[in-house]
Amino acid sequence: MAFDFDSFAEDYLDDLKRTLSEVSKSQIESLWDEINTVSVNGGTIHMIGNGGSAATPSHSAGDWSKELGIPTIAHTDNISSFTAWANDTDYANVFAGQLSTFAKFGDLVIAYSGSGNSPNVLNGISAAKKAGCRTAAITGDYNGGNGGKLAEMVDVAIVVPTTSMERIEDMQLIINHIVKEATKASHGK
C-alpha cells in the first residue's frame, strides 16, 4: 500500500486551519499589549524555550530587534552561558540562571513550550517573576495538558488548541509574526 501524501498533507493543513481559527485572538492582542508596554517603557523582551520552541525565539529575537527596534534576547542562543548553567548547576536552571543576570523589573519574558511543563522553562518564569518581569507564554495542549503549569504561572497565556507538537510550533511562529506585524502597523512602520 502506497503512502498517500496528498491526503496526509490535506489532513495536516485542515488541522492547521482549524487551529488558526480557534486560537484566542484576544490573548494574542494581550501579548501585543505587553510588547507595546515594554517598548514604550524602554524594557527588554527575553525569550525562552526548548527544541522547536527554542528556534522560534531565535528567529523572532532577530526580527523584533531589527524591525521593531525593541531589545529582544533569545536566551536559547547564548550557548556558552546555556551550557555553563547546565553543567555547573542543572539543566533545569539554564534559563533561570541567565534571567537572574539579564532580566530587570518591567521587562517581558515570553516562554515557548508545547506541553507547558518543562522544568527549565517553569524555573525561568519563576526567576522572571522574582525579578519583577511581566510574563507570557505561547504553549499548547500537547499531552492533553491545556498549557500545563506554564499557562497557570504567566500573566498572559496563549494556549494553542491542538495536541500536535508540530501545529503548536507552527502557531508559535505565526503568533510572533502577527504580533510583530501588528506592532509595525500600529506604529506606522
pLDDT of residue 156: 98
Cα dihedral 121, 95, 63, 34 sign: positive
8 A C-beta contact, residue 18 and residue 90: no
DSSP string, 130-166: HTT-EEEEEEE-GGG-TTHHHHHHSSEEEEES-S-HH
| DSSP SS3 for 72 | strand
pLDDT of residue 138: 97
pTM for this model (two decimals)? 0.96
Summarised one tens digit per residue, pLDDT across range 34-63 is: 999 999 999 999 999 999 899 999 999 999
Q: Which residue ranges of the chain lie beneath pLDDT 70?
A: none
109 contact partners, CB below 8 Å, separation of at least 6: 45, 46, 47, 48, 99, 103, 124, 125, 128, 133, 134, 135, 136
Out of 3.10.20.30, 3.40.50.10490, 3.90.1150.180, 3.40.50.300, the CATH code matching 9-184 is: 3.40.50.10490
pLDDT of residue 105: 97
Closest CA to 46 of 81, 74, 68: 74
pLDDT of residue 188: 78
8 A C-beta contact, residue 111 and residue 137: yes
pLDDT of residue 144: 72
The domain locations on the chain are 9-184
161-to-2, 18, 31, 146 alpha-carbon distances in Å: 31, 9, 17, 8
